[in-house]
Amino acid sequence: IPVKYRKDYKPSAYLIHETKLDFDLFDDHSIVTARLKLQANPNADPSDSLVLDGEELKLLEIFINGQKLESAQYETDSEQLTVWLDKVHNLNYQQNSFELMTKVRIYPNTNTSLEGLYLSNGKFCTQCEAEGFRKITYYSDRPDVMSIFTVRIEAAQQKYPHLLSNGNQTEHGKLANGRHYAIWHDPFRKPSYLFALCAGNYDLLEDHFKTQSGRKIKLEIYVDKGKLEQCHHAMASLKKAMAWDEEVFGLEYDLDIYMVVAVGDFNMGAMENKGLNIFNTKYVLAHSDTATDQDFEDVEAVIAHEYFHNWTGNRVTCRDWFQLSLKEGLTVFRDQQFTADQTDHAVKRIEDVKVIRSHQFAEDAGPMAHPIRPDSYIEMNNFYTVTVYNKGAEIIRMYHTLLGAGGFRHGMDLYFERHDGQAVTCEDFVCAMEDANEYDLKQFRRWYSQAGTPELTVTSEYDELHRKLTLHVKQTCPDTPGQSNKQPFHIPLKLGLLDKEGKDLPLQLAANPEQLTGDILHITQLEQSFEFTEIAQQPVLSLLRNFSAPVRLHYDYNDHELAFLFAHDSDPFNQWEAGQRLFARVIWQLCAEQEAGEVMQFPLHLVNAVQNLLSSESLDGRFKALALTLPDIKALIEEVERVNLDHLIVAHNFLKKELACQLEMDWLVHYQANHHVGKFQQDKTSIAQRAFAGVCLSYLVALEKPKAYELAVSQLLNSNNMTDAETGLKLLMHSNYEDKQQLADDFYQKWQNEDLVVNKWFMSQATDPSDPTIERVETLIEHPAFDLKNPNKVRAVVGAFAGANLAQFHRKDGQGYVFLAEQIKRLYSVNPQTAARLTGAFNRWKKFDDERQRLMCEQLQGILQLPDLSKDVYEIASKALG
Ligand code: B3K
Ligand code: ZN
pLDDT in tens, 566-584: 999 999 999 999 999 999 9
Q: How far apart are CA 532 and CA 506, in angstroms?
A: 9
Report the atom number in ligand 1 closest to the C-alpha of 306.
11
Beta carbons within 8 Å of 161's beta carbon, 6+ residues apart = 201
Ligand 2 midpoint to CA 257 (Å): 20
Q: How far apart are CA 602 and CA 666, in angstroms?
A: 18
Q: What is the number of residues in the chain? A: 882
Q: What are phi and psi of 669, to 5 degrees?
A: -60, -45
Rg of the chain in Å (alpha carbons): 28
Q: How far apart are CA 450 and CA 483, in angstroms?
A: 8
The pLDDT value recorded for residue 606 is 95
Query: Active-site residue among 306, 351, 394, 577?
Result: 306
Say which CATH topology domain 317-449 has: Neutral Protease; domain 2 (1.10.390)
* Level-2 CATH architecture, domain 752-882: Alpha Horseshoe (1.25)
The pLDDT value recorded for residue 157 is 98
Of 656, 647, 700, give the one whose Cα is nearest residue 848.
647
Q: How far apart are CA 286 and CA 756, in angstroms?
A: 10
The pLDDT value recorded for residue 422 is 98
Residues with pLDDT less than 50, the chain: none
Q: Collapsing DSSP states into helix, strand and coil, what is residue 762?
A: helix
- Compute, in degrees rounded to 10, the torsion defined by CA atoms 832, 835, 836, 842: -160
Ligand 2 midpoint to CA 727 (Å): 29
- CB-based burial, 838-851: b 16+ in 10 Å, e otherwise: bbbbbbbbebbeee
For 606-662, the three-class secondary structure string (H helix, E strand, C coil) is HHHHHHHHHHCCCCCHHHHHHHHCCCCHHHHHCCCCCCCHHHHHHHHHHHHHHHHHH
Report the atom number in ligand 1 closest to the C-alpha of 270.
8
Protein residue with least CA distance to atom 8, ligand 1:
271
Segments making up each domain of the chain, as ranges: 4-201, 317-449, 455-549, 752-882
Q: Which residues line ligand 1 (CB under 6 A)?
A: 129-130, 268, 270-272, 305-306, 309, 328, 381, 384
Of 39, 57, 147, 51, give the one whose Cα is nearest residue 99.
39
The pLDDT value recorded for residue 179 is 98
Fold match between domain 4-201 and domain 455-549: yes
Q: Is the dihedral of CA 796, 797, 803, 804 positive or negative?
A: positive
* Cα angle 202-792-354, degrees, rounded to a multiple of 5: 120
Q: What are phi and psi of 378, to 5 degrees?
A: -95, -50
Q: How far apart are CA 24 and CA 563, in angstroms?
A: 68
Q: Which residue of 271, 303, 309, 323 sits with most ligand 1 atoms within 8 Å of its CB, as the best mutation to test the pocket?
A: 271
How does DSSP classify residue 741? H
Strands 30-40 and 14-25: antiparallel
CA distances from 687 to 616, 676, 691, 751 (A): 18, 11, 6, 23
Establish how many alpha carbons lie within 13 A of residue 522's alpha carbon, considering only the half-sphere containing its beta carbon.
16
CB count within 10 Å of CB 526 equals 12
The pLDDT value recorded for residue 162 is 99
Report the atom number in ligand 1 closest to the C-alpha of 267.
7
Say which CATH topology domain 4-201 has: Immunoglobulin-like (2.60.40)
- Class for domain 455-549, per CATH? mainly beta
Beta carbons within 8 Å of 682's beta carbon, 6+ residues apart = 288, 293, 296
Q: What are phi and psi of 235, to 5 degrees?
A: -65, -45
Is 55 tagged catalytic? no
